[in-house]
Structure formats: C-alpha cells, structure tokens
Structure 1
Amino acid sequence: MTDVGTDGADGWSWEYEGYKAADERLRESLCTLGNGYFATRGALPECDADDVHYPGTYVAGIYNRLTSEVAGRTVENEDMVNVPNWLPLRYRLPDGDWIDPDSTEVLEHRQGLDLAAGVMERVTRYDLGGGRTLTVRQRRLVHMADPHVAALRTEFTAEGLSGPLEVEAALDGGVTNSGVARYRDLDGHHLTHVHTGVSTEDSVWLRCRTRTSDVRIGLAARFTAGALVTVRRETSRIVQCVTLDLAPGRTATVDKTVALHTSHDPAISDPLHAAVDRVARAPGFDALTATHRVAWGQLWRRAELEVPGEPGRILRLHLFHVLQTLSPHTADLDVGVPARGLHGEAYRGHVFWDELFVLPFLNLHFPEVSRALLHYRHRRLEQACTTAARAGRRGAMYPWQSGSDGREETQQLHLNPRSGRWLPDHSWLQHHVGSAIAYNVWQYCEASGDMEFLHTKGAETLLQIARFWADKAEYDDELGRHRIKGVVGPDEYHEAYPDADTPGLDDNAYTNVTAAWVLARTLDLMDMLPEPRRRELAERTALDAGEVERWQEVSRTLHLPFHDGVISQFEGYGDLAELDWQGYRERYGDIRRLDRILEAEGDTVNRYKASKQADVLMLGYLFSPSELGSLFRRLGHRLDEGVWRRTVEYYLHRTSHGSTLSGLVHGWVLARCRRSDAWAFVQEALQGDIADVQGGTTGEGIHLGAMAGTLDLVQRGLTGLETRDGALRLDPVPLPELSSYGFSLLYQGNWGVRLRLERGLLEIAVPSSDISPITIRLPDREVSIEPGDTARLVLPD
C-alpha cells in the first residue's frame, strides 16, 4: 500500500492506494473535480464533514460577508461560500450501522483521477464479517460541457452476502465554512432560508440563499436505482431512499445526477427552476460521460504539453487543476483567480496577485479566459480609484485581497497557530498587486494581439495604476530621487522596521522597479494610441500634459537601494541582523514559516535578513535579462551579470521558502544564472502540493499560482519565450534534467503553433491558415515562418 500518487499505465492516471484518515484532506483537494463554474472536493460521499473529511463545493465568484467577535474585536470577513453538498450517498445492511471507512474494516481502497476523461473513481472493499464483503465502486464527474451538471454512479457488488441493502442519497443545505481549522473562531454559517421539495418521482430539490450577499442557490437531484425511491425531509436536508436486492457476484447500480444554478447565472429567471429543468433534461450517466470526455479532449488539445517522465506526469496533474478552476466557462463569469483554486477555503477564496503566475500560461492557450479575468479587474477599477482617493491618492489602489466587489478583503487579524495569538495583519500594504495587474494587461495584449482591449479597458487600467504610482512617489531632496514609502513587498515577512510604531517599508526594490515599468509602458501606450482614442481617454480621466511629464520623471528617478554590492530588498535591509539559519533548522527542522516561529518565541522576523519567498529575485521572473537591464538603465543604474549573480546568491541563502511560489521563482531564475542548482527548486515547485511540502496546507486548497507557474516554467522559463514587439522571442536554456519537451500554443490568432526542443534542436511548426507569417527572434538570428511550414533550428551551445 502507498499513500502517494502513483502513475497509471498510460501516464494519464493519478491514483492513491490504501485508506489512511490522516491523508484524506490532501487527497480530497488533489481529487477535486471542477469545470470553471463550480468544483467539488474529492471527498467520499458516505462521509460527513468532520476532522477527517471535508466535502466542500464552491461556485466561482459566490461570496458572502459576515462579522465575528475575535480576540475582543469585531472583525468582518468575506468568504467564498461552501454551497449545499450534493454528494451525500450512504448505505447499510438493514438494522446495521452505516458503512464507511472510518467505522468498517477496509480490505482494499483505491481512489484516483482519470485525467484524460476528467473522472474520479474510487473502489473500496469492505469486510462485513462472517465471510461477507461489499465492494463499492464509484465514478464521479463535474461536467465540462454543461457547467451546471455533476453526476455520480455507484456500483455495489456483494460476496458471501445476499439480501437487501439500504441506500440513501441526499442534498444537504446544513453545511458551513469550516474547512480551515484556524478560521473556526470566525462565523462560517453563510447559508439561510433552506427549503426542500420533490419535483418528480425520482427528483428532489433544495434552495437557499447567502445571508448577506443574498445570492440565491438552486440544486436539483435525480436518483435512479431501478427500484422504488422514497423521500424523507430533514432539517436543511432532503433524502431519497431505496432498497437494493443484493446477490453474490451481481452488481447493483444507482446513479445520482445533479444540476446547480445561482442567481448570478445569465439567461435564467430563477435558479431553482433552472436547476429542476436542467436535471430533468440531463441524459443518463453514460451519455454524460461521453460528452464530458469530448469536452476534456478539446481542452487537452489546446493546452498540449509533452514532458517525459515523472515531471511530465506531475505537470499534467497541475494542468488538470488549472483547467478545472479556469476553463472556457470562466470567460462568461465575473471572477478573478482564487489563490487556492475552487478546491478549499484557505485564504477564504480571495483573489491575490496569483494571476501574475497564471495568466502568462493562459494567454497562449485560452486568451478568452485571460480577457475575462482582466475584465474582473477592470470592473473594479472604480472601487480601486475610490480606495486610493480615501487614502489621499490619485489613480487606482487595488486591494491585496479581492472578493466580490473590489474592496480590500485582507483580514484585520491573523492567527499564529504556534502561539495561539491573533496578530494585526498589514499585508494590505502590498500595493505591488497593481503592478501585477498592469503586467498582465500588457502580457495578454502582446500574446493575443487584442488591440481593442489594450486601447480601451486595458488603457484605462494602466493609466490609473500609473497615476497611483506617480502620486505615491515622494521626491527626496537629499537623494535627488523619488521614493515610495510605507509598503510591503512580495517577501511578506517584513512589514515594518524593527521597533517602528507604524507598519510599512521604504523603497522596496521590487515595488519600485515594477512601478517604473508600469509608468514606462503606460507612456508607450499613450504614444501608440490612435489620436481620437487618446483624446477620449484623456477627457474621461482628466489627464493633462503636466501629469504625463511627471510620469516620465518618476519612471526615471525612482530610488533603488543597494548594499554590499547587491540590490537591497528595501531601504535599510542591509542594517538588519543576520539570522542563525543553521541553529533554527537544527531546533525546528522545517522553518518555512519562520515568522510564526519567531513570534512564538517573542521575537519578530522584522529584525532579520530573512525572507519568506523571492522578493528582489521576482524581477528575474517577470523580466528577461535584457528587459531588466533596460529598466535599470532607465533608472540610472547598470545591472551587469556580476551584480545580478551576487544578488541571486545573497538572497538564496536568506530565504526560507515559506510560499509555494518561492521554489518556482528560484528555479526559474537559477535556470539562467546557476543552472546546476536550478533543478532542486524546480523539483520543489513540482512537489509542492502533491507532497504537501508545507505540512497540511494543500488539504485546505491547492496553490493555483504555483501549479500554473510550473507549466509556464516549461512554456516560457526554459524557452526564454517572450511575446514582445510583434515577435516570438526565444532564448532556450535547457536543464540537463529537462532538455526534451514540446507544447502547442495560440499566438495572435495562430492556433496550434507547435514548439519542440530536443538535444539542441528547436522545431517550430505553424499550422496552415491565411494569417501572416510568425516572426521568431533568437539571440543570434531572426526567422519568419509561413503558415503551413516547419522550421528546424540548431541552437547555439
């Protein structure tokens, strides 16, 4: 028996063997099924939510806000709602206890994913005593063609046993948000007004609404068993009951088909009516499986990725979960990128900066999804401008954590599980999220060629973010440069200076460089806009020439601190104390969450040269060496290879990697400057969720940015692929451990452009079409490839 994912014969399976209660939360997250509209964790249907199991279902963009009393304070939090549970299906012998793996002896248990088909399968063989066994096989899908439908087929096979088996299927509206232990002091009762009823002899329904946001939710379930189905109503639940006649070696089958709608859905009059109607029209399980498989096949073709061996198998799982969270169905929704997918309740389902690691991959496969995610940000531009105005600033100040309406959703307090103390949370000072949004706008438009978006909503977004940075920058007479004060960088450990009364740091290098980039790109955009559109934009935003001149000045004079010949993470970083890294590793082993360790000791990480994750090195993730060098020159500095290598080395020894994104960024950066050390970090990025390297966090939801980032590591990081200046730029750096791979992409209307790298040879195939040739720029040459042609290029050593 093993408790880790094992490979199927064809590399398209992800399987677990044996039942271990301690691993259930992890398996539930990694066996989640979704379609971009909603997702359901891979929990066993016979098990209720408890300390072992957590059968959550989440609809993209459905939030609710509640207030709670915590540590003597009233705090308000908005959560992605755990909607009514459609999974429940339990069984027992007459007058016996309900059978489940926690109370009944398990002889055999397998659970896994068929990635190609998007189906979860579990097989459990129970020992019922006296030589009697019951094998339960279930197949489950959340339909990728019809985003409102899910289905569960259960097959019972008895040995040494004949007679009746009682089976109950239910819809449960009594659920709460309680999947994250450290949030349980907060109110998690988001649903109210639960009502149930019967629509036909084999179908029932449940309706409810969220308490504050007043989102109406309708569920309908059809239960077919080849026998008489009866109904029992309970508080917040409706149960369908059937008695099956078991005989040794003969399989009895029941199917449960569910439809889910909310009042956020377009083209419906009422979510309950829509759900009842849809479940009545839904075909049987086999027909649903067939159309579901076709839809998944189309996704796999569009996002084709071929990487040999174990890395390829893990990347396929990562791609599977990215597509379940952000599918073409997402393009019809008003949603952002939830940091933990639709897989659990960590971070309360909020939208952070993780789209920075997700959209670059989607841009080249599903640009319509990227555009929708950028629409989510643009719709909240007015709120971001309002937030900035309340802070006395011009432009748009986007929130570090976003939810339904774009206000700041960062918690006021966070719990340190080590000390049990609730502490102030200052991560809302991570204003660099605005630069991430601007970067994503620019990257999307470069990759897709969507000039209409760039000239309209994209231009408005960039302008207001640039305006914020220019206004926040303060001129320092002594330095003769502009400074951005009172912020927190990507590192997150440092949120204040030692012994300071107020939070915030000055001149975070990542923040300042990316702010300069935003200002420079916005100036470029203003120059390229057609004159009528530029005039409209200026009129709408009250932009004047003096403001544009200030952007020019600030974009060239933002202060960049240095110390000891390296780029400083922020002004004063070089004055902090060195940490006894070896001593802490010996005392604690895993020190990824060094901030919690030090706080529990009565100390603070603010005193030390210690980072949670890549901060300065994020610059090497966002920008190619040539573009980063150009940015530094714009700011009056020379960033040569020696300075960058020293900077990488410096922070490499002062980072605890307390974020799953850290290994990804380090692997990306080291692939270009310390190739021999890159693979260890790439491995950590690949293993982050499947091995739960952070010790329990994956069970609360997968890390979507890290998963998408590993895909982009192959797509852009190792190839050096940039979509810049109307060309595909490539500068491959094959790792010895990952030197052969291929993928397809969609570039400016060219569907299915195929790239393959193997042993120093780059092959690029452009499908036949009536679109213009693609320009490929390598460090030593430029080639043009006509549609229908294939180029085979020998790469320099």
Structure 2
Amino acid sequence: MKSRGPDQTEWVQECRLCAVPSDDEWLLGYVGFDPTEEGTREALLTLGNGYLMTRGAAAEATADGIHYPATYVAGVYNRLVSLVDGHRRADESIVNLPNWLPMTFRPEDGPWFAPGAYDMVHHHVMINLRQGLYQRELVVLDPRQRRTHITQERLISMDRPHLACQRTTITPQDWSGAIHVRSLIDGRVTNGNVAAHGPLNRQHLVPPVTGHHSDTHWLTTQTNQSGIRIAVAARTTLHHDSGPVVADRLPVGGGGRVGHIFRLAAQAGTPVTIDKTVAIYTSDDRAISEPLDAARAEIADAPALAALRDAHTLAWEHIWRRFHLSIDGREMTDERRAVNAHLFHVAQTLSRHTADLDTGVPARGLHGEGYRGHIFWDELFVFPLLNLRTPELTRALLLYRYRRLPQARRLARSIGASGALFPWQSGSDGREETPERFHNPLSRRWMADNSQRQYHVNLAIGYNIWQYYQVTADVDFLTAYGAELLIDITRFWASLVEHDPVRDRYHIRGVMGPDEFHDGYPDHPGTGLNDNAYVNIMTAWTLTRTRDVCETLGGHHTDELWERLGVTDNELDRWDHISRRLHVPFLPNGLLSQFDGYAALEELDHDAYRARYGDIGRIDLILEAEDDTANRYQVSKQADVLMLFYLLSAEEITAVLHRLGYPFDPATIPQTVHHYLARTTHGSTLSRVVHSWLLARTNRHASWHLLREALDADLSDTQSGTTRQGIHLGAMAGTVDILQRCYTGLETRGDALRLHPRLPQTLTHLDFDLRYRGHWLRFHCSQDHISVHALPSAAPPVTVVIDQQSHTLSGGTHLTVPLTTDTRRQPPTADADLNRRGH
C-alpha cells in the first residue's frame, strides 16, 4: 500500500483514534504505515479468545510478503512431508484457516481498495487492551484523488468463542456516487508466515466447498492429513445511522472464495456501515453434530454487533479482575502499557475456553506460525501466573500432558529407558516433533538439530505438577493424574542414571541442558553432555517430590492407584538413594559447573564478536557460518545453571545439595550468577526474564533494567524480527511473574504463602490480586509496607508468612506489615560491571 510519508498532520485532527491521550496505558497502537514493521504489528495486534485467534492484518490485505492475515484454532494441526536439501522430512504445523477478514470497497468507476491501489494519507491502528477491541482509522485517495475515510472495529468474542465480528464504516468525503462493497471468505490460504519454512510443503487444506443462503455465505474444507473438517459461515449487513441501507446484493464465488458484492448509492459526508459476523467450527469441537451445521446455526443465532460487543467487553472486565496487576513509579506509562499488553496476550491465548480443549501452551501463542505452533517447556514460565489466578486452567493444561502419557512412554522405550519421556516439541498426539535439521540464514546451510536431547522438559512438567498442588492443595488431581505423571517421569530418570559403585555416585549422560548452544563436546557434537548441573539437581529434587507425593497420598485411600502403577518399596528406596547420590560437577573456583568438562572449554571474546556482528544473541549461527561451533566455548544462549535459582529458593537448592552430600554455601549464589551472566548472549526472550529474577536480590537496578528489556522484547521486536512469527508467550508471562512473585519474594511452600518483598527503587508500589487455596487475596506492596486483604470467603484460613513472621488470614480479614530499613537494605553485589559487558 502506498503511503504519502510521515507527514500526516492535516489528517490527525480528523482522526478519532488520534484524539485518545498518548499516555493511556490500555492502548497499544501505531500511527502511519511501515511495510517493514507490518508483520510485527499484525502479531502484536492479534485478537483471540483461547479457542480462536486472528492476526491484526488489514481487512483488504492478502498474504503478499508484507501483510499476513491468518486465523488459527487451538489444537488444529496437520502433518506434511517435504523434500528439503535432499532429505524427506515430515513436519506437523498449526494450520492457517480460511481468511474471514476480506472486506473492501470501490467507487463504481474505480479499482477495489487494496494494498498498492490507493494512496494512504493517514493510518492509525490500535488494540484497546482493556476491552479486547481492534480499532483502525485511515484516509485514502483513489487514483482520481477522491478522498475516503474508513474506520474499522474488530472483536473475537470472549463470550461466544466461535463468533468473530468486524465493523467497517466508509465515508466518502469529497465525492458521491455508486459504491461497491465486497465481503468474502477466502479459502486460498497456505502456511507462509515463516520465511525459513519456505522449502516446506505448505498446503494444509483441501480445495473448499462454498455456498450461499439468504444473507449468509459459507465455506467448508478440511486438513489434508489429519482430516479435521473446518466450517466458516458469515453474515454481512449494511446500514446508515438512520437505518438499513438499500443495496443490490450479488453472490460471488469460485476459485476458493465465497461472499457477496453490494451496490449502493453513497453521498459525500454520509457514512455507510458494514457489519460482518462469522462463526467458525471444526470437527474437533464438542457438543456439535457437524461443523457446517454448527456454524450456520451459530451465525443465525448471533446477535447484532452492539450486543455482541457488550457481552464481549463484560467478559474482558471479568478477566481483568482476575489478572489485576498495576505498578507505579516515576514516568511509568510505557512499562504499565507493556505489562498490560503482556497480560492481555497471555489471557487471550489461554482462557476459560482453552480449558475445554485438548491443547497445551504454544510457545509463540496463536499469533503466527513460529515453531510451527508447537508446545515446548514454556508452560514452566506461564503456569506460575495462571496457578495464582486461574488454577482451573492450569489443571486443564496439565491434562494435555497426561493424555499423552502413552506416547511419552513409547518415546522413553525408543531410547532404551523406562517410564515416560515427553518430547521437546509436542503437537497433536505428543510424539517428538523436533525437526532433525534447521536452516542457518547466515551460512545458508542446514544444521543438525539435536534439541530432542532436552529431556529436561520432563523435569519442567514434574515441577509444574508440584507447584500447582502447592497453590491449590488439589489432592484429587494428584490422585487421578498428577501422581501417575510424576511416577512415570521419575522412572524415566531412575532408568537413565548410570551408577559408579566405586564412588557410589550416579551419572546422567547424553543430555542437553536449557542452554541449547551445547549439544555435545567439541569432538563429539550431537551426542549430548554428561552431568548437566541443572538436570542432575532438578532430577534429585523431582525424585524427592515424587516420594513426598506418595507419602501425601498414602492416607487418602489410594491403594488401587499404587496397585495399578505397581510402585514398590524397593523402587521407592532406590529413588531415595539416587536423590542422595547424583553427581554434581563444580568449577575449579568452587562454583557449580554447567556440565562435566565445562571448565575445559575456551572463553569466547564477546566484545570482538559484538564489534563485528552487533547482535550476538544467536552466536551459534554466527560460529557455524564461520565453520566453528558453540560447543567449543563457555557461552550460553540463556540461563542453564542459573535456572536452578529461578525455580528454587536458595534454601531449597542448599537443601538439595546438602542431601546430595555437597557442602554448598548459598553465599556463592551472587558470584555464580555473575559468572554465567557474563557468558550469556540472551539469544532467547526467556533469558532476560530469568536473569532479571536472579539479580532482584543482589542488584535491583540491574534487575529492573533487564526486566524493561524483557518487556520490550516483543513490543519492539528486539529478537531479530521474530515477533512477526508469533509473540513469545513464556517471556510475556515471565515478565509479569517477576512483578508478581520475584519482587515480592512470594513462594507457595510448606502449606503457606510466603512473602519477602524487595521492590526496585524505581517502583513506588505494586498492587495485585491472587487466588490461594480458595481465597482471593488483595496485595498492596510499597517500599515501606505490605498489606494483604482477604476478600470475604468461606474457605479455611490460610497461613501467610511475611519476612519469616507467620500470620493467619480468614475471609474478610486484613493484614498490614511494615518493612523496616534493615529488611529493605540491599546486600552487596558482585555485578557492578555487568553493564560494561553489554548485559
């Protein structure tokens, strides 16, 4: 689409969206049109409801290399075989569904309004985060220099998850005459959001079948491998302010598209409003007979836009009550907007409608096709936010893993292990979806992808189960699902260890840690590493927690569970022994070693590579392009050893290491953080989240700096253009969790809610609501005090521990605790030179 450039001053006065105050932290918007940024903006302006999501593309746009309209339904995957670089490969991907957005117009003697056909003299687009509404306003000139003003509003109903609606208002400003309006459903779609996937087969849908009925039109298709049937039905109505518009309606179809063209008389200054409502169903949906019947019935029953919007915004009001979190300080507008945007994208990707589906936590949301829509370990960063606000949703998402236990057991057997091994990348049925090769755009070569050795996803699932139980005390979940998951995960690790009888130590060999840059030793790439500290310590922790669960359930009439799972006393005793004798490597300076042999690797000259390349987040790709390998160096993409201090408190880590027989001193934690942070390139959006958390107690200024960078990662697309392929859901949830749990020192441990607040000096106060064991608790935390108000509830009283002082809270009671100067004093830091090293 052509643009007249950045000078749009004369049009701003006419733009209603431009009249909104720029410091409104509930609006995420953009003025002007920049083709290089359009893909990123479309991802960030995505709307959804946990079932259905649509990218924030213009209604008149098609996938043309600049724009990428796309709609996704959670859990709709398809597998295709491709021939790439001489190798056959099968890839399962989230499917881009038929495009329901197309809406355009033309004067009778002019071309259809489309990118490149008109001059755009003003463009403003935004999302109202509080209401979940997409709003767009533009002024365009056709080839005869006639000016037309256009506004659009879009919603994906949070009240009725199968419905979406778009209102377009067209106002000829200096011309009158016949006008044509075209409303379509476009089934000519493929998966084309990720350039690196260009060599892959991208045609996931069979040719559609279309039809018309009265004022509606519909399209059906299905995925060509998984056989999921998809139906889209649409209703389009036209009206003026004074009532319905008299227009000729012409059905159109063919070539994979279906819809209507309307012809009507337009007058200068008189707006014409077009409301388009669509219903989308798939054969995976519950409580339906057939997708097209369901879609047509839903569209026939759909209310007018005003009523649909009212119910939708009320649903969002209810969501924001659960996800309430606000910060204050000097000049905090950008930070508050970023926090609201992150909460918005998490809440609309994973909603109460998601809980009714068999789906997991997609790493890139449903905002694009990055990672082909797969589920990784990102739920580790998302569940802490959900546990304390929507625990019923966490429970449902954990069942995604439980239903795939048979597949995980098969994967474990395939590598000669017992129990269950969950895949690093998961899709529809839980098989390993990690590709064997990926493309390096720097060298233009295909590289081996050995990340299926990241067995630590098992540890994340075990951790998530335990944390969910700590927040909810949901014994029924443990009995029905959680215990079985934990036992099979524990059996996997117990079968993987190798015992050294001389030293009575167990070793875990051939794995990758969270770092991802190291898939083996320099002379043995791809074969994994030995005794990764994170893996071994978290394995010891998991084995101990599994025994705790067995003891917890021992008094709950669970004999049938143990008989079914075949857990024996001898097995429990062996798990206990392993949890006390796993080997943990240390560096010569006494700090935890990332893995056995890490100290023998070469140091990387970060400064030299930054001078040559600028951004070295993906130094692994840079090194491969230079015929080198990250396996040779002490360099990390993201936290590995340091993930331990993100997941576990200093007390818990110390207890695990002492149980293993190592004299660990928690005073070495700041030095350990400094050591590895100086060797981390932050090649993942999760990296700054973890490191911000770790610095919160020793260098709050640096912690706040990293948090701001993490808040900005997707909103400013700092990860080398990846946001256009989908937002980073784990990082978005993780940034909010730093405010929610890290700066407050909040833990759910030992049947108590524990707080140890330490706000950065930049924050004057932090307010949020949490749900803990049946209570809604309202928190106000400042530099001087913390208050906790339990809303009225019949739930049993809960224990709240603030700075080691225990209090009991019942429904309707209130607690305020002052924070003394001594408890707020910041400890010494060894991280003073981090900024000089570029971190």
Alignment partner of 2:671 out of 642, 646, 668: 646
Q: State whether structure 2 residue 187 is matched by structure 1 residue 173.
A: yes
1:102 to partner: Cα distance: 3.3
Alignment partner of 2:661 out of 636, 639, 648: 636
Query: What is the identity, as a one-letter code, of the residue corresponding to 1:585?
Result: R
Contact 1:378–1:461 (8 Å) recurs in 2: yes
1:42 to partner: Cα distance: 0.1
1:110 to partner: Cα distance: 0.2
User: 5+ unaligned residues in a row in structure 2: which ranges?
Assistant: 1-5, 9-17, 239-244, 825-839
User: Equivalences for 1:616-627 in 2 at 5 Å?
Assistant: 616-627=641-652
Alignment-derived partner of residue 672 in structure 1: 697
User: Equivalences for 1:90-129 in 2 at 5 Å?
Assistant: 90-128=104-142
Alignment partner of 1:242 out of 255, 262, 268: 262
Alignment-derived partner of residue 217 in structure 1: 230
Alignment partner of 2:742 out of 704, 717, 727: 717
Alignment partner of 2:298 out of 274, 278, 288: 278
Alignment-derived partner of residue 432 in structure 2: 408
- Distance in 2, Cα, partners of 1:2 & 1:471: 67
1:535 to partner: Cα distance: 2.6
Q: State whether structure 2 residue 67 is matched by structure 1 residue 43.
A: no
Deviation string for 1:583-628 (max 9, x for gaps)?
Answer: 0000000111101101011111110000000111111110111112
Deviation string for 1:409-443 (max 9, x for gaps)?
Answer: 00111011111111111000000001101111111
- Distance in 2, Cα, partners of 1:634 & 1:336: 34
- Distance in 1, Cα, partners of 2:503 & 2:208: 63
Query: What is the identity, as a one-letter code, of the residue corresponding to 2:507?
Result: R
Query: What is the identity, as a one-letter code, of the residue corresponding to 1:183?
Result: H
Alignment-derived partner of residue 307 in structure 1: 327
Of 772-781 and 557-566, deviating more is 772-781
Give the superposed CA RMSD. Answer: 1.6
Q: 1:26 to 1:72 in 2, by over 3 A?
A: same
User: Equivalences for 1:50-89 in 2 at 5 Å?
Assistant: 50-89=64-103
- Distance in 1, Cα, partners of 2:480 & 2:557: 8
Query: What is the identity, as a one-letter code, of the residue corresponding to 2:751?
Result: G
1:571 to partner: Cα distance: 0.6
User: Equivalences for 1:281-300 in 2 at 5 Å?
Assistant: 281-300=301-320
Contact 1:744–1:755 (8 Å) recurs in 2: yes
- Distance in 2, Cα, partners of 1:130 & 1:49: 27
Contact 1:224–1:254 (8 Å) recurs in 2: yes
- Distance in 2, Cα, partners of 1:104 & 1:193: 31
SS, match of residue 276 in structure 1: helix
- Distance in 2, Cα, partners of 1:483 & 1:768: 51
1:167 to partner: Cα distance: 1.5
Tell me the TM-score normalized by structure 2: 0.93
Contact 2:237–2:274 (8 Å) recurs in 1: yes
Alignment-derived partner of residue 774 in structure 2: 749
- Distance in 1, Cα, partners of 2:637 & 2:518: 9
Alignment-derived partner of residue 467 in structure 1: 491
- Distance in 2, Cα, partners of 1:45 & 1:67: 32
- Distance in 1, Cα, partners of 2:163 & 2:807: 47
1:131 to partner: Cα distance: 5.4
Alignment-derived partner of residue 595 in structure 2: 570
1:330 to partner: Cα distance: 0.8
- Distance in 1, Cα, partners of 2:448 & 2:656: 35
Q: State whether structure 2 residue 572 is matched by structure 1 residue 548.
A: yes
Contact 1:764–1:790 (8 Å) recurs in 2: yes
1:480 to partner: Cα distance: 3.0
Q: State whether structure 2 residue 413 is matched by structure 1 residue 389.
A: yes
Deviation string for 1:738-757 (max 9, x for gaps)?
Answer: 34111001111113x10110
Deviation string for 1:520-555 (max 9, x for gaps)?
Answer: 000011111135644322221222222111100111
Alignment-derived partner of residue 730 in structure 2: 705
Q: 1:501 to 1:350 in 2, by over 3 A?
A: closer
Of 622-631 and 143-152, deviating more is 622-631
Deviation string for 1:75-112 (max 9, x for gaps)?
Answer: 01000111111111122222422223433211110000
Alignment-derived partner of residue 146 in structure 1: 160
1:8 to partner: Cα distance: 4.3
- Distance in 2, Cα, partners of 1:8 & 1:276: 41
Contact 2:110–2:142 (8 Å) recurs in 1: no
Query: What is the identity, as a one-letter code, of the residue corresponding to 1:76?
Result: A
Contact 1:203–1:220 (8 Å) recurs in 2: yes
User: Equivalences for 1:7-46 in 2 at 5 Å?
Assistant: 8-46=22-60
Alignment-derived partner of residue 12 in structure 2: none
Alignment-derived partner of residue 530 in structure 1: 554
- Distance in 2, Cα, partners of 1:680 & 1:544: 51
- Distance in 1, Cα, partners of 2:641 & 2:539: 14
Q: 1:223 to 1:577 in 2, by over 3 A?
A: same
Of 244-253 and 657-666, deviating more is 244-253
SS, match of residue 697 in structure 2: helix
Alignment-derived partner of residue 778 in structure 1: 802
SS, match of residue 229 in structure 1: strand
Alignment-derived partner of residue 430 in structure 1: 454
Q: State whether structure 2 residue 208 is matched by structure 1 residue 194.
A: yes
Contact 1:2–1:18 (8 Å) recurs in 2: no
- Distance in 2, Cα, partners of 1:33 & 1:269: 27
Query: What is the identity, as a one-letter code, of the residue corresponding to 1:560?
Result: V
Alignment partner of 1:607 out of 632, 639, 661: 632
- Distance in 1, Cα, partners of 2:226 & 2:642: 40
Query: What is the identity, as a one-letter code, of the residue corresponding to 1:572?
Result: G
Query: What is the identity, as a one-letter code, of the residue corresponding to 2:400?
Result: Y
Contact 2:525–2:631 (8 Å) recurs in 1: no
SS, match of residue 219 in structure 1: strand
Contact 1:621–1:665 (8 Å) recurs in 2: yes
Deviation string for 1:303-331 (max 9, x for gaps)?
Answer: 11111322222110001000110001111
1:779 to partner: Cα distance: 2.9
Alignment-derived partner of residue 833 in structure 2: none
Tell me the TM-score normalized by structure 1: 0.98
Of 91-100 and 592-601, deviating more is 91-100
Of 703-712 and 447-456, deviating more is 447-456
Alignment-derived partner of residue 216 in structure 2: 203
Contact 2:108–2:177 (8 Å) recurs in 1: no
1:246 to partner: Cα distance: 2.0
SS, match of residue 306 in structure 1: strand
Alignment-derived partner of residue 362 in structure 1: 386
SS, match of residue 82 in structure 1: coil
1:47 to partner: Cα distance: 0.7
Alignment partner of 2:176 out of 156, 162, 176: 162
Of 635-644 and 571-580, deviating more is 635-644
Contact 2:654–2:666 (8 Å) recurs in 1: no
Alignment-derived partner of residue 457 in structure 1: 481
User: 5+ unaligned residues in a row in structure 1: which ranges?
Assistant: none
User: Equivalences for 1:474-513 in 2 at 5 Å?
Assistant: 474-500=498-524, 502-513=526-537
1:631 to partner: Cα distance: 1.4
SS, match of residue 597 in structure 1: helix
Query: What is the identity, as a one-letter code, of the residue corresponding to 2:292?
Result: L
SS, match of residue 334 in structure 1: coil
- Distance in 2, Cα, partners of 1:2 & 1:81: 39
Contact 1:131–1:160 (8 Å) recurs in 2: no
SS, match of residue 443 in structure 1: helix
Q: State whether structure 2 residue 713 is matched by structure 1 residue 693.
A: no
Residue correspondences, number: 794
SS, match of residue 248 in structure 2: coil
Q: 1:533 to 1:503 in 2, by over 3 A?
A: farther
Alignment-derived partner of residue 584 in structure 1: 609
Alignment partner of 1:421 out of 432, 442, 445: 445
Contact 1:7–1:15 (8 Å) recurs in 2: no
Q: Runs in 1 of length 4+ with deviation above 6 angstroms?
A: none
Contact 1:526–1:534 (8 Å) recurs in 2: no
Q: State whether structure 2 residue 399 is matched by structure 1 residue 379.
A: no
Query: What is the identity, as a one-letter code, of the residue corresponding to 2:259?
Result: V
